[in-house]
Amino acid sequence: MGVFARVDGKARDENDDRLNVLVFGAHPDDCDLRFGGAAMKYRALGHRVRFVSMTNGDTGHYCEGGGALAKRRYAEAQASGAIADIEYQVLDVHNGELEPSVLMRKWVIQIMREFQADIVLCHRPNDYHPDHRAVGILVHDAAYTVTVPNVAPLTPHLERAPVVGHLYDNFKLPNPYVATVAIDTDDVFERKIDMAHCHVSQMYEWLPFNGAYLEDVPESDEQRREWLMPRMRTRFESLADSVRDCLIKWYGPERGAEIRTAESVSISQYGRVPSEDELPTLFPFFG
């Protein structure tokens, strides 16, 4: 029995068919909202999942900031990761200052290599937030170069590029999001709410302030979660409706039509492009 790779310093057996799923978001909560449900499904099947926030979130508030806010958002991310039973890495880069530099690209390459990623997910490069756009560019630029030995040579290269996919967004220009796979999250949706509930600084403070509905947020922890639930359900029911054809394709007409909440992935032409027949192996949820 041979060994062909290493994952976080541990030997990975050649007969180990578990997937290594790596999700890059710009801020500590992006991955949770866009892929938290699917992450829990991967973990239930024994696969490995790591979320990476490319910034520390230190400007994402209206009356807090700097190191104190970065530490608070790190703690929120760790609490959310514990609910999903995943590793949650937060890079110490200022919120709003992420740039697709060569240095940052090498950091992304190192993370992808050390985790021996099979699937890498990220924002698309067209998005409202500069940090989101930078994440998309960085992952795209790293998708091939992870296989080049003389790029960042102190970290052993991957023998084949990972599959790269985009997390859901609803931007239409310069091109609209087109889902390749859609994932039923109904059975894990309550836990996904629990993950979002961990991000107190965002769900109940910054986002309501920025959206001019801060006065609507309840005071108690229990009331806040009850308040958050319908807002989250509306958001992800809308997402499910927008990818309904994709849900029906993968789950069949009857079940696909009944799914209420969903997440989705759009496979990128960057990285390794899987065949249609391989997708149920990479996204093993369709039964």
Q: What is the pTM of this model?
A: 0.94
pLDDT at 112 over 50: yes
Distance CA 139, CA 147 (A): 13
Tokens of 63: 């009356």
Contacts for 132 with CB less than 8 Å, ≥ 6 apart: 26, 30, 123, 124
Q: Is residue 104 part of a domain?
A: yes
Distance CA 30, CA 40 (A): 15
Q: Of all residues in the chain, what percent carry a pLDDT higher than 70? A: 95
Q: Is residue 250 part of a domain?
A: no
Q: Per-residue pLDDT tens for 151-164? A: 999 999 999 999 99
Give the model's pLDDT for residue 15.
Answer: 66
pLDDT at 2 over 60: no
DSSP for residue 63: S
Q: Per-residue pLDDT tens for 178-194? A: 999 999 999 999 999 99
Average pLDDT over residues 276-282: 97
pLDDT at 8 over 70: no
Nearest in space to 32 (alpha carbons), one of 84, 68, 75, 74? 84
127 beta partners: none
Q: Is residue 88 part of a domain?
A: yes
Q: Mean pLDDT across the chain, nearest whole number? A: 94
**What separation in angstroms does the CA of 225 have from each of 123, 232, 237?**
27, 10, 18
Nearest in space to 57 (alpha carbons), one of 75, 39, 33, 44? 75
Give the model's pLDDT for residue 4.
Answer: 34
Give the domain range for residue 92: 3-182+264-282
Tokens of 20: 């290594």
**Cα 286 from chain centre:** 20
Helices H / strands E in the chain, number of each:
11, 9
3 and 15 in contact (C-beta within 8 Å)? no
Q: Of all residues in the chain, what percent carry a pLDDT higher than 90? A: 93
Give the model's pLDDT for residue 12.
Answer: 57
Q: How confident is the model at residue 16 (pLDDT cuts 50, 70, 90)?
A: confident
Q: How confident is the model at residue 6 (pLDDT cuts 50, 70, 90)?
A: very low
Average pLDDT over residues 111-140: 97
pLDDT at 14 over 90: no
CATH of residue 39's domain is 3.40.50.10320
**Residue 14 CB neighbour total at 10 angstroms:** 11
Q: Is residue 238 part of a domain?
A: no
Nearest in space to 268 (alpha carbons), one of 141, 102, 172? 141
Q: Is residue 154 part of a domain?
A: yes
Give the model's pLDDT for residue 287.
Answer: 77
DSSP helix/strand/coil, 228: helix
Q: Is residue 257 part of a domain?
A: no
Q: How confident is the model at residue 144 (pLDDT cuts 50, 70, 90)?
A: very high
pLDDT at 5 over 60: no
49 beta partners: 21
Distance CA 43, CA 51 (A): 13
Q: Is residue 11 part of a domain?
A: yes
Q: Is residue 190 part of a domain?
A: no
Number of domains in the chain: 1
Average pLDDT over residues 208-236: 97
